[in-house]
Chains A and B, each alone.
Chain A
Amino acid sequence: MPTLPNGSIEVEHVWKKFRSDKTVPRFYDQVTRLTRRVTDRSKPGYRWVLKDVNFTVSPGESLALIGINGSGKTTLLKILSQVTYQTAGRCTVAGRIGALLSVTSGLHPDLNGRENIFLYGAVLGMGREDIRRKFDDIVDFAELNDAIDRQVKFYSLGMQMRLGFSIAAFLEPDVLLVDEVLAVGDANFQQKCLKRIGEIVRDGTTLLYVSHDLASVEASCERAVWLSDAVVRAAGPTKDVVTMYRTAVEENSTLLNTKDGVVEVLKAELRATDGGQLRSECESEVRLVLNAPESAMASFYIGISQGTAFPMFVIDHQATMPEGDFEIVCKLGYLPLPKGHYSLWTAITGHPKGKKDPYLPWQPVVSFEAFGPDRMEPPEGVMALTPVYVGATWEVR
């Protein structure tokens, strides 16, 4: 076994199982386990949270683990940081590991900010002298100023997160493992964290970043591994993997599309007005054929998203909805989309008398392919969440 250079990660055939029933073994379980061992009728209940996971990361690379909740991302990170152990397989991380699995769990509410920096710093693996040297930088980064001498229980959650992240930001490990820590905190601080992570990577630290926030993944990682249902579905350049992931999420949400609204969707399409391909910046129109049980005043919404239920933009319109079959045509002046796979979402708000459900809940109705130039990349370390303006004319008939 050749020794790996500092900063490498090697994951070979890693499996991990959890008990699937109760987390705390009760006396009853112990007894049934014994009887099972004797009779050997059935196997004890467990489920695999990781199945045959393989990948390698070279020193200085940045890799993202993406996937929906419960797909095994955090468990894998915990195995890599040796917080927990794999059931089978081999996991090697060369060099000093800095693992930020939770931003606030190391903070003690009764201690003040200063004491907590020394506590959490030590817990994360920094030496006392090391912390003393970086102390001012940490306080500056966390923007805590004189709150540093206040007990942490009087901090807002945002301040606690800033303190926690700032300590980790100055760890200087060979391998930095980060789990979903940017989820909270205001936008400014998020941007600052991303920038700091970018700097850390540039300084040669290997980064393993877990998130389901795709924008931040694209902003900070060159490669990605997509975990789904305990297995690696795909691995490769972030852009390709993220695209695959988005498509899959969307397929899933399309499956959820049932007739749970009062208004029925009979037909939905987005097409170029000239009848050709859907191209970036082309004039296009959305056509929806719907069936309503009654005539009413309603708000119509149309949005376009990439994978998730969060649309990139939404346009809305107030109109009287006719009874029976009707058609909505919405002309989009120009299609503000780069090349890619998208889905069209729609909703009609307002609800029939005596019912609580809206006419049509927010749901994807059709997916489509747009042709044109690739999306332009934002500068490194910047999340692309630019709002899009779309002019449109509506017609309901």
Chain B
Amino acid sequence: MTDLAVDQPDKGRRLVVTDLSTIPAEPSEDILYTHKVSVVASARNLWAHREIMYTLAERDFRVQYKQAALGVAWAVLSPVATLLIFVVVFSNSSVKAAFPTQGIPYALYTFVGILCWSFFSQALGNGGTSLLTNKALLAKTQFPRECFPLETMLVTALNTVISWIPLALLFVIFGRAPKLATIWVPLFMVVEVVFAAGITLAVSSLIIQMRDLQQVLPIIISLGIFITPVIWPFSWVPVHYHLFGGTEVNGHWIGGVWVNLQAVYGFFNPLGPIINSVRQTMLLGHNPSLWPLTTATIGALCYLTFGYRIFKRYEVNFADIA
């Protein structure tokens, strides 16, 4: 092995024919390759390759509108169309009555939720299959594999930013203005991006090995909109949920053990507190509920860490099975 290089000055200068009988049937246990990469080291490597990510995102963004006569205008037009449907459908008063929207027009109330949700669902939908759609590159070029799902998320983010423009339109239609507390919204979006990145990384690395998931994913995503407070208010999840102990007085529990169910929900589905917080700040001008938002942030970070670890663990096989 190495001694070849050191001990023989004429190495490579003469013909060496391998004695085939010296090759064992299996490699010895001690040289088996184990793929161990720390999350921090990979993140650093990813940062070094960020330019590739931007370039791929640029590719996808350009290709998206390449042969459309209206071009990039579609980025604005399609969310406006969605919005129009909203205004028409949800100006129906019977729908309005069903939800306590604290005096906010139902269309506005829901549209905010839809915008937050659509970023997540598109990021997951496109990012989840990104390793498959980029098969050719995956099997032939070398740079951090997480560039693919993250690059897709970047494109989705860009599209989402554009699709927030019609929201301004909606404010005008209803003769309202976003409250000052809107300045908090970018922070909530960061939490959402962290959460979406974690899920997308994990899902994309699983889909490439088990293509069945590719069929299941859209179903799960379309179910997700119902367990997330997109078209219903987050206040339906009780803040104080009585577990045990205490005494019941007139249908109310006094004392005993309680749990903030919104906070628990937030840990598992950070989107709940995020959407709620956007509504609280932008539409109502309130402070966001602190506990759910905190657990949501912790939850999102956990998703990212575990998602990234799963991705890194399975990336050994990507090129072989792509």
Is the pair A99, B141 in contact by a Cβ cutoff of 8 Å? yes
If A24-B321, A61-B12 touch, whether A123 touches B137 (CB-CB below 8 Å) is yes
Is the pair A236, B14 in contact by a Cβ cutoff of 8 Å? yes
Question: Which of A97, A124, A125, A233 touches B18 (beta carbons < 8 Å)?
Answer: A233
Q: Compute how far the CA of A151 lies from the CA of B66 in the bound complex, rounded to whole angstroms.
A: 10
Is the pair A233, B63 in contact by a Cβ cutoff of 8 Å? no
> B55 within 8 Å of A by Cβ?
yes
Docked complex: A96-114 residues within 8 A CB-CB of B: 97, 99, 101-102, 105-106, 108, 110-111
Which chain A residues border B14 with CB–CB below 8 Å? 236-237
Is the pair A18, B59 in contact by a Cβ cutoff of 8 Å? no
> A54 within 8 Å of B by Cβ?
yes
Q: Compute how far the CA of A56 lies from the CA of B211 in the bound complex, rounded to whole angstroms.
A: 39
Which of A77-85, A136-144, A257-265 lines the interface with chain B? Answer: A77-85
Interface size on B, residues (CB 8 A): 47
Q: Compute how far the CA of A122 lies from the CA of B142 in the bound complex, rounded to whole angstroms.
A: 11
> A88 within 8 Å of B by Cβ?
yes
In the assembled complex, how far is the CB of residue A233 from the closest CB belonging to chain B, in whole angstroms? 6
> B20 within 8 Å of A by Cβ?
yes
Is the pair B24, A240 in contact by a Cβ cutoff of 8 Å? no
Docked complex: A227-271 residues within 8 A CB-CB of B: 231-237, 240-241, 244
In the assembled complex, how far is the CB of residue B113 from the closest CB belonging to chain A, in whole angstroms? 34
Is the pair A56, B16 in contact by a Cβ cutoff of 8 Å? no
Which of A9-17, A65-73, A186-194 lines the interface with chain B? Answer: A9-17
Question: Which of A12, A18, A87, A102 touches B2 (beta carbons < 8 Å)?
Answer: A12
Is the pair A125, B143 in contact by a Cβ cutoff of 8 Å? yes
Closest to B52 in A: A122
Which chain B residues border A127 with CB–CB below 8 Å? 51
Which chain A residues border B136 with CB–CB below 8 Å? 102, 105-106
Closest to B12 in A: A223
Docked complex: B35-94 residues within 8 A CB-CB of A: 35, 51-52, 55-56, 58-59, 62-63, 66-67
Interface size on A, residues (CB 8 A): 56
Is the pair A78, B319 in contact by a Cβ cutoff of 8 Å? yes
Which chain B residues border A78 with CB–CB below 8 Å? 139, 319
Is the pair A83, B55 in contact by a Cβ cutoff of 8 Å? no
In the assembled complex, how far is the CB of residue A83 from the closest CB belonging to chain B, in whole angstroms? 5
If A13-B1, A105-B141, A106-B140 touch, whether A85 touches B15 (CB-CB below 8 Å) is no
Q: Compute how far the CA of A52 lies from the CA of B55 in the bound complex, rounded to whole angstroms.
A: 38
Q: Compute how far the CA of A232 lies from the CA of B62 in the bound complex, rounded to whole angstroms.
A: 46
> B187 within 8 Å of A by Cβ?
no
Is the pair A110, B142 in contact by a Cβ cutoff of 8 Å? no
Q: Which of B59, B139, B140 has most A Cβ within 10 Å?
A: B140
Which chain A residues border B17 with CB–CB below 8 Å? 233-234, 244
Nearest 7 pairs of A and B residues by beta carbon: A236-B15, A88-B27, A122-B55, A84-B319, A105-B136, A240-B15, A15-B27
**Other A-B pairs beyond A78-B319, A123-B55, A244-B15, 12, CB < 8 Å:** A25-B210, A27-B212, A56-B2, A56-B5, A81-B142, A89-B31, A110-B67, A128-B55, A223-B12, A232-B18, A236-B12, A241-B15
The contact sample of 12 A-B pairs, CB cut-off 8 A, is A25-B209, A52-B24, A54-B4, A78-B139, A82-B142, A110-B63, A118-B55, A122-B51, A231-B23, A236-B12, A236-B13, A240-B15
* B interface residues (Cβ-Cβ under 8 A, vs A): 1-2, 4-5, 11-18, 20, 23-24, 27-28, 31-33, 35, 51-52, 55-56, 58-59, 62-63, 66-67, 136-137, 139-143, 209-212, 316, 318-321
